[in-house]
Copies of this chain bind each other. A is one copy, B any other.
Amino acid sequence: MKVAVVGGTGDFGRALAKRLSAAGDDVVLGSRDAERAQAAAEELGVEGGPNQEVVRGSDLVVLAVAAGAAVQTAKSLARAIGATPLLSVASELRFGDGDVRPGSEGASVAEQVAEVVPGPVAAGLHSLAASTLGGSRAPDEDALVCGDDAVAKELSLQLASRVVAGRALDSGPLANARALEGLTAVIVSLNRRYKGHAGVRITGLA
């Protein structure tokens, strides 16, 4: 599968690109800045280029920019992305009072992104941290993916299954992105409280 990682020079984007490349995927790393994309891509041994270019001809676009930039970036790339399925991985967080909580009430980042791109959108991988994803072995965690479009969800599940040692699990409609994104605040809270690198395993499934 040819995967374009938009915002691929960030910690999460680089960790994902590294893992996918090791799994045999054809990864193209994108950035607003072509030179930065090239530098990061060379380091990982993958292709790189401006976001506008890398999304063309890919099978799946992973939108890996920070949550605050996700909708604007998706909007600016809408024409280049066209009908290509997109996987939204960002979670909005609010930091304050010594704690971490989900971002603004209302629609999830993924649902907002789905409003501005013409193609189908899935959401997932929110419970994976860049630090564990970028480690020497695939994280011993499950990856949760949701979406309303069968093709976008299936491609995203395929991608997810190649980056975790656990399972890629179909977690229902895109509306559940609200829960998956919110879970990141829970995970960051757990990391702070218990000084760890929390991830999720789902029990009780056959």
Contact = CB atoms under 8 A, between A and B. Distances in A.
Copies in the complex: 2
Interface string A91-105: 000100101111001
A83 interface: no
Given A144-B186, A172-B193, A201 B203 contact: yes
Contacts of A185: 172, 175-176, 179
Given A171-B189, A176-B189, A179-B181, 6 more contacts: A100-B173, A105-B178, A172-B186, A175-B185, A187-B202, A194-B206
Nearest to A204: B197
A198 interface: yes
A44 to B, nearest CB: 24
- Range of interface residues on chain A? 35 or more
Interface of A: 94, 97, 99-102, 105-107, 132, 139-141, 144, 146, 169-173, 175-176, 178-183, 185-190, 192-206
Q: Which of A105, A141, A179, A187 has the most CB of B within 10 A?
A: A179
Contacts of A189: 146, 170-173, 176
A175 B132 contact: no
B202 A198 contact: yes
18 contacts: A99-B173, A101-B176, A102-B178, A105-B106, A141-B203, A144-B186, A169-B193, A170-B190, A172-B185, A172-B192, A176-B182, A176-B189, A178-B178, A179-B182, A179-B185, A196-B205, A199-B204, A200-B203
A193 to B, nearest CB: 5
